[in-house]
Structure 1
Amino acid sequence: MTNKLLCGGKSLNLKSWDDVEIGSKSDLLLGNGFSVNIDRDFSYTKLLSIASEKYTDEEKRMFQKFNTVNFEDILYNYKISAIVSKIYGQLGFKSDLVKSEKKVRSSLIRTVQSIHTPYSDINRLDILDKINKEFKKYKRIFTTNYDLIPYWAIMEDRKKFVDYFWNSGSYFDEFETDISSTKIAIYYLHGGLHIFEDDGDTYKIISKGKALLEKVYSEIENGGMPLFISEGESSYKLSKIKSSDYLMFCLRKLRNSENDVVVFGHSFAETFDQHIIDALKSGKKKVIAISIFPFIDDIEDVTARIKGMLPKHKVVFFDSTTHPLGSSDLTPYIYD
């Protein structure tokens, strides 16, 4: 079945998901649209905008002057600045820096609390079980989202999924990454709220359900910072990825994949996603099936632009609302 839409006065055909012909063992690449379908408030742009509402002008300028929206960068710069201030005897200034560092850190916790979908909400109506069953249809899962929804979903049947954090202390070891062909691997391309770094080593927080978020907050309060890239230009994201053995491992897996790919919830904006686009460009010719939300403006321009980015591959587009991951059954909320 094909959905015929009106776009700029022209008719545009988007395939229904059931009509997409793709390999039986394809990869799945999730973008922010997956999470937004579940909770509309789950947008990256809200993280810093909400957190900064109570910042002083100086604290806001820290993000502006360092040209970043990454909390880890700012907290690191506060620490270094405080050390330098102490060395030069500027103890009053050092006190201000320490106070701001604590404020920015605690604001991150409050912001995540305010925007992250509660486990109790998403666990209603068998939503996580539905996502889990859909994930099982794929060979591998890649996600650029930092939220806990994919993690909660795979925990519904964790024996089937692996995330490479199986070593002592739940640490990642790039030299121990062999998995059984019967397992489905998940790769957090931009990190996640439950993933942390300690002196260059990457580990994950382990817990079930709502207790996981509480453990994340506790880890942040104790000085840890989640390894996640929430915003920024693609070149910045790539530099952060290259600084992490785990993130670079995930990106290489996407680059080297020879499987067909289903892309759900990605905008393919060159400014922010070029490193993902470049990864998809590589490898042998494949089918890349890309979801399109049918009510956006200029669909024809969007599809033409994306096809131009991936000239080697067979690119097909489908109506995101016809895919199980785009179903209205996955949201616990009622919107006007």
Structure 2
Amino acid sequence: MKIDTLPSFDEVVKSLHQKKRTKHLLFGNGFSMAYDPKIFSYNALSTFIDDSKNELLITLFSIINTKNFELIMQQLDNFAEIAKVFSNDPELVQKIEKASLTLKNSLIEAVKELHPEHVFIIPEEKSQCCHSYLNDFLSNEGKVFSTNYDLLPYWVLMRNDSKIAIDGFGRELENPEEIIIGKDAEFSELRWGKYKEKQNVYYLHGALPIFDTGIDIVKEEYDSHHYILQKIHERMENKEYPIFVTAGSAKEKLNHIMHNKYLSFCYDELCKIEGSLVTFGFNFGEYDSHIIDAINKSAHYGARGGNKLHSVYIGVFSDENLEYIESIKSKFMCKVNLYNARTAKIWQ
């Protein structure tokens, strides 16, 4: 089988519409690379590390001979566990753990620095096209799940003034008692939770504008003086970091997810979708088995009293990619269909 023989994205959508099947979207880094591969690829991120002149990280990339952050972080985690067994030197373990933390923080910094400066960098026609793509899922009771860290989907939905995209964040009234005596209402920053029951946009691995204060999950926003990236930069200067799932293995990713109330909620929602799931730019690699597990839980949701996930439509970009997905189809507990992802006109 060759990629050119696969159904197109439009054919998939038409088929699901005819079946009256609710469709959801899961997208990964391919979504952002389709906008600009020079910014949102592992090559771009590793080049940023090279240019940072951080000798430790440059050496790590060279020794392990990869541009894959997940693989390097997994190797560091493994090395730390081995060192605990074979070394009596606590400083060695601390040095390894420090290197892992440095790499994770550098990944966040790289995403921020390489990112377009503000929402209006995205050409209007691209923004409208992407909004139409996302809106086709959201307007038909579907949910959108992202494993990306960047601002692109947030920007697109905001710029097009989407009325139906709900990420769960809202403002809480801070002084209800004072309003009674005639004082002006005071509202909190954007906190997650107020609209979570209506939420239909989920950042499974966190994202640049989402921060955990220790008490609340908050979303950074624009004001009249600063672009959002400037405000994110200010937080990071104060040693506050966005919620990013930067672990190497799927097990460690899931552990991170389960220890954060926002991430665990998003993951649980993926575990109980019904209908069909369409994926784009998500390769279901060896570090993504927790996502396959969530899909399989959705496939069994009907047995727990709900309507189950019937099928997943996986977008493939090349014959090699197609061959890989064919080799892992048995891992899914629902029907797996493939389509030609090159036909999905997300940005054009």
* TM-score after normalising by structure 2: 0.70
Q: Report how far residue 25 of structure 1 moved.
A: 3.0
Task: Report the counterpart of residue 203 of structure 2 in structure 1.
Answer: 188
Task: Report the counterpart of residue 88 of structure 1 in structure 2.
Answer: none
Task: Report the counterpart of residue 229 of structure 1 in structure 2.
Answer: 245
Q: Report how far residue 223 of structure 1 moved.
A: 2.0
Q: Report how far residue 286 of structure 1 moved.
A: 0.8
SS in structure 1 at match of 2:41: coil
Structure 2 unaligned blocks of 5 or more: 65-70, 78-98, 172-187, 302-307
Q: Tell me if 1:316 matches 2:341.
A: no
Q: Report how far residue 125 of structure 1 moved.
A: 4.1
Task: Report the counterpart of residue 82 of structure 1 in structure 2.
Answer: none
In the alignment, the residues of structure 1 paired with residue 330 and residue 103 of structure 2 have an alpha-carbon distance, to the nearest angstrom, of 41
In the alignment, the residues of structure 2 paired with residue 52 and residue 236 of structure 1 have an alpha-carbon distance, to the nearest angstrom, of 26
Task: Report the counterpart of residue 78 of structure 1 in structure 2.
Answer: none
Q: Tell me if 1:205 matches 2:220.
A: yes
Alignment of 1:144-163 (within 5 A): 144-155=147-158, 156-163=160-167
SS in structure 2 at match of 1:159: coil
Over 3 Å counting, the alpha-carbon distance change for 1:145 and 1:113 in structure 2 is closer
Q: Tell me if 1:266 matches 2:294.
A: no
In the alignment, the residues of structure 1 paired with residue 288 and residue 211 of structure 2 have an alpha-carbon distance, to the nearest angstrom, of 23
* TM-score after normalising by structure 1: 0.72
Contact 1:25 1:137 in 2 (8 A): no
In the alignment, the residues of structure 2 paired with residue 324 and residue 249 of structure 1 have an alpha-carbon distance, to the nearest angstrom, of 30
In the alignment, the residues of structure 2 paired with residue 253 and residue 123 of structure 1 have an alpha-carbon distance, to the nearest angstrom, of 30
Over 3 Å counting, the alpha-carbon distance change for 1:254 and 1:297 in structure 2 is same
Percent sequence identity over matched residues?
30
SS in structure 2 at match of 1:324: coil
Contact 1:261 1:287 in 2 (8 A): yes
Task: Report the counterpart of residue 91 of structure 1 in structure 2.
Answer: none
Over 3 Å counting, the alpha-carbon distance change for 1:316 and 1:106 in structure 2 is closer
**1:43 partner letter:** S
The Cα RMSD (Å) is 3.9
Structure 1 unaligned blocks of 5 or more: 74-99, 330-336
What is the aligned residue count?
A: 286
Task: Report the counterpart of residue 14 of structure 1 in structure 2.
Answer: 6
Contact 1:105 1:220 in 2 (8 A): no
Over 3 Å counting, the alpha-carbon distance change for 1:318 and 1:109 in structure 2 is closer
Contact 1:44 1:230 in 2 (8 A): no
Q: Report how far residue 298 of structure 1 moved.
A: 6.1
Over 3 Å counting, the alpha-carbon distance change for 1:127 and 1:238 in structure 2 is same
Over 3 Å counting, the alpha-carbon distance change for 1:324 and 1:208 in structure 2 is farther
Alignment of 1:100-111 (within 5 A): 111=110
Over 3 Å counting, the alpha-carbon distance change for 1:228 and 1:120 in structure 2 is same
Q: Tell me if 1:51 matches 2:49.
A: yes
Q: Tell me if 1:171 matches 2:194.
A: no
**2:320 partner letter:** D
Task: Report the counterpart of residue 112 of structure 1 in structure 2.
Answer: 111
Q: Deviations over 1:11-55 (max 9, x none)?
A: x72111222222453111011111111111202464366236511
In the alignment, the residues of structure 2 paired with residue 43 and residue 163 of structure 1 have an alpha-carbon distance, to the nearest angstrom, of 25
**1:39 partner letter:** D
Task: Report the counterpart of residue 86 of structure 2 in structure 1.
Answer: none
Task: Report the counterpart of residue 93 of structure 2 in structure 1.
Answer: none
Task: Report the counterpart of residue 145 of structure 2 in structure 1.
Answer: 142
In the alignment, the residues of structure 1 paired with residue 295 and residue 275 of structure 2 have an alpha-carbon distance, to the nearest angstrom, of 11
Q: Report how far residue 323 of structure 1 moved.
A: 1.4
SS in structure 1 at match of 2:275: coil
Which aligned segments of 4 or more residues in structure 1 are displaced greater than 4 angstroms? 58-61, 67-70, 103-110
Contact 1:39 1:117 in 2 (8 A): no
Q: Report how far residue 195 of structure 1 moved.
A: 0.7
Over 3 Å counting, the alpha-carbon distance change for 1:244 and 1:303 in structure 2 is same
Q: Tell me if 1:25 matches 2:22.
A: yes
